[in-house]
Amino acid sequence: MADKIATREAYGNALVELAEKYDFVVLDADLAAATKTGVFKKKYPQRFFDCVIAEGNMISLAAGIATTGLVPFASSFAMFAAGRAYEQVRNSVGYPHLNVKIAATHAGVTVGEDGATHQCNEDIALMRTVPGMVILNPADAPETRAAIEAAILHDGPVYIRLGRAAAPVINGEDYKFEIGKGVTMVDGKDVTIVATGYMTHIALDAAKLLEAEGISARVINMPTIKPLDTAILEQAARETGAIVTVEEHSIIGGLGGAVCEALAETCPVPVARIGVPDCYGRSASAGEMLTYMNLTAENIAAKAKKVIGK
Amino acid sequence: MEQTKLDQLTEIARRVRVGIIEGTYHAKSGHPGGSLSIAEILTYLYFEEMNIDPKNPKMPTRDRFVLSKGHTAPGLYATLAERGFFPVEDLKTLRKIDSYLQGHPDMKGTPGVDMSTGSLGLGISAACGMALSAKYRGEDYRVYTVVGDGESEEGQVWEAAMFAAHYKLDNLVAFIDLNGLQIDGKITEVMNPTPHDEKLKAFGWNVITINAHSFEEIAAALAAARACKGKPTAIIACSVKGKGVSFMEDKADWHGKAPNADEYAQALAELNGEGK
């Protein structure tokens, strides 16, 4: 539990680890040192292609590569992979349902000091609207490694959301990952906290705070945003009666939006969404940004109590 | 080029033009102007240049074609139909709800379409990806694309141009269909993207300028492209938008408009050599 490693770093390591097992190439947009594809580039230079600061071209190019049966990973910051190149993702990759893996790092407010222009809090919302797109948002290093392998084995477009900040390891090395499945990390009966990505370990801390106050909180880690595990959500809604969603992404269109859309139609219960409100970030450390946006264990616990009327 | 061959190709291009008129007339919409301007290029590619098999459209070793100016799908469909990928009669189903002939090329639904395109600037990048994959795997297929002159106003075209030159994609040929017109008028007046030849040379491409309606010039340019090593080739194809249908020629108005019944009859009469 003491180990901390950024999911971007786990991504770079996974590419190297899986390189001999699977045939794929890696594209990057002048950010290999930051996205951590650089470790792959160093070991497999013949399988790495720098597409420079031209992300739209990179995504359409990846689509062209995929038409030939070769799997490309295309990496940049989430702001540019999902934001700048949204239309290329939709039309070149999504519409023909091509086997492109977009690994986008520096997502969310934990980007930190680079500030609002680089803190992409909208990528999940954008990618959710692309028909057929699988969206993965791993919480730690073992989950990232498993998600990368699952993405390779999945035939179709996958968007993998990765973070800059070091995240505590909460899963074991034997962790089994399945696309479309949520994982109950802690069982509970009074309320369910559904978290994704970097926020999952903070949700676990919140459950401990609640436990100290005699409230039994279930914690579900949701590494796949699309397709969403509606079964685990409906069960949680039925059994605990209230939901709190937690993400370092806009409360519009992300995990919170997806959970509300799903439960509103099948098992409506009170839901509190914790995430980035309808605003931009600013320059500060990752930790300061989490506090600034109220993405803390204390706030999660407070919102959980409020949603169950305590 | 032998006269017999030239006659054959000329006849195929004429039928391709008829297919373009049939498709857009029955669809009551679509883009005839820029389809007609590339009829010879498409004919030469699919009947002479490219290694393809209409019975095995996904053949892994095939040459690839990406219609970057995807709105001129009627031209591509008419060519694919003539080449035997699907029945010529189906061209009349263009843009209909139950048809596999979408308004812009759909690689999932249409035999022979190698890449879905339509949003301008994206196709040439995909073509670069195909060419890069061939290089990476040591395969010798070639990749062809047609970019519109108006389309070249998209910044992504130049991102792709930079990429292709850097990675020495000499298995890639990009035609620039220089018909001189875009929706809003003459490209040189709306916002001038020329000179393409000097720009692409500066980007590191092998550049050849031809008359887009001359099979001999197309053939010579493609032979020169094959001979050129270490550089992608751009063929600046000077064309007439609407070529072959008198009232459509060199008129921006025919970029994205279907002929009415009278215009349809006149266009077919002209293409069938029945005079005016």
Side chain identity at B82, as an amino acid letter? E
Shared domain check, A26 and A95: yes
- Chain B residues within an 8 Å CB radius of A95: 106, 116
Pick one of 3.40.50.970, 3.40.50.300, 3.30.360.30, 3.40.50.10680 as the CATH number of B3-271. Answer: 3.40.50.970
Statement to judge: residues A135 and A269 lie in one domain = no
- Band (pLDDT 50/70/90 cuts) for residue B182 is very high
Residues 6+ apart with CB under 8 A from B195: none
Alpha helices in A179-310 (DSSP H): 200-212, 230-240, 255-266, 286-292, 297-307
B129 to A96: CB separation less than 8 angstroms, yes or no: no
**Within this chain, do residues A11 and A151 fall inside the same structural domain, yes or no?**
yes
Please state the domain count of chain A.
2
From the list A25, A54, A68, the residue facing B130 with the nearest CB is A68
Unique residue bearing structure tokens 């991102």: B159
Tell me, yes or no, whether A191 and A158 share the same domain.
Answer: no
Helix, coil or strand: residue B127: helix
Do A145 and A288 lie in a common domain?
no
User: Is B88 buried (19+), middle (13-18) or exposed (0-12) by CB count in 10 A?
Assistant: middle
Long-range contacts of A152-155 (CB under 8 A, 24+ apart): A152/A18, A152/A22, A152/A24, A152/A71, A152/A101, A154/A179, A155/A99
Shortest distance, CA A247 to any CA of chain B (angstroms) = 33
Q: Which of A168, A200, A234 is the last residue of a domain?
A: A168
pLDDT in tens, A157-191: 999 999 999 999 999 989 999 999 999 999 999 99
Domain end marker among A168, A195, A226:
A168
Q: Tell me if A177 is assigned to some domain.
A: no
- Identify whether the C-beta of residue B177 lies closer than 8 Å to the C-beta of residue B202: no
Tokens of B237: 């194809």
Q: Are residues A139 and A221 in the same domain?
A: no
**pLDDT above 90: residue A2:** no
pLDDT digits (tens, 9 = 90+) for B56-103: 999 999 999 999 999 999 999 999 999 999 999 999 999 999 999 999
Whether residue A160 is found in the same domain as residue A109: yes
Q: Dump pLDDT digits (tens) for B220-257.
A: 999 999 999 999 999 999 999 999 999 999 999 999 99
State which residues form the domain around A273.
Answer: 183-307
How close A105 gets to chain B, by Cα (Å)? 22
Give the residue from A115, A134, A168 where a domain finishes: A168
Contact: A25, B136; criterion CB under 8 Å:
yes
* A135-147 tens-digit pLDDT: 999 999 999 999 9
Q: Which residues pair with A251 in a beta bridge?
A: none
* Chain B residues near residue A56 by CB distance under 8 angstroms: 121-122, 125, 155-156, 159
DSSP for A156-212 reads S-EEEE--SSEEE--S-TT----TT--EEEE--SSEEEEE-GGGHHHHHHHHHHHHH
Give the global pTM.
Answer: 0.97
Does residue A1 have a pLDDT over 80?
Answer: no
What would the mean pLDDT of A261-286 be, rounded to a whole number?
98
Give pLDDT, residue B276: 43
- CB spacing of A49 vs B167 below 8 angstroms: yes
Contact with chain A for residue B61, Cβ under 8 A: no
Give the model's pLDDT for residue A168.
98
Question: pLDDT, tens digit, for every residue of B37-63?
Answer: 999 999 999 999 999 999 999 999 999
A90 and A25: one domain?
A: yes
Cβ pair B129:A56 closer than 8 A: no
Q: What is the model's pLDDT at position B99?
A: 98
Q: Which of B125, B145, B167, B169 to mutate to test the interface with A (most CBs of A within 10 A)?
A: B125
Q: With 0-12 CB in 10 A as exposed, 13-18 as middle and 19+ as buried, what is A155?
A: exposed
Average pLDDT, chain A: 98
pLDDT above 60 for A279: yes
Closest Cα in chain B, distance from residue A94 (Å)? 10
* SS3 at position B10: helix
**What amino acid positions of A are annotated as catalytic residues?**
55
Pair (A164, A264) in one structural domain? no
Rounded Cα–Cα distance for residues B253 and B248 (Å): 8
| A36/A128 same-domain check | yes
Per-domain residue ranges for chain B? 3-271
Q: Enter the ipTM.
A: 0.97
| pLDDT exceeds 70 at position B275 | no
So what's the pLDDT on residue A173? 87
The answer to whether residues A141 and A222 belong to one domain is no
Task: Say yes or no: A135 and A206 in one domain.
Answer: no
Looking at residue A123, which CATH number applies to its domain?
3.40.50.970
Please give the structure tokens belonging to residue A167: 């995240």
Is residue A116 a part of any domain in this protein?
Answer: yes
Is residue A112 included in any domain, yes or no? yes
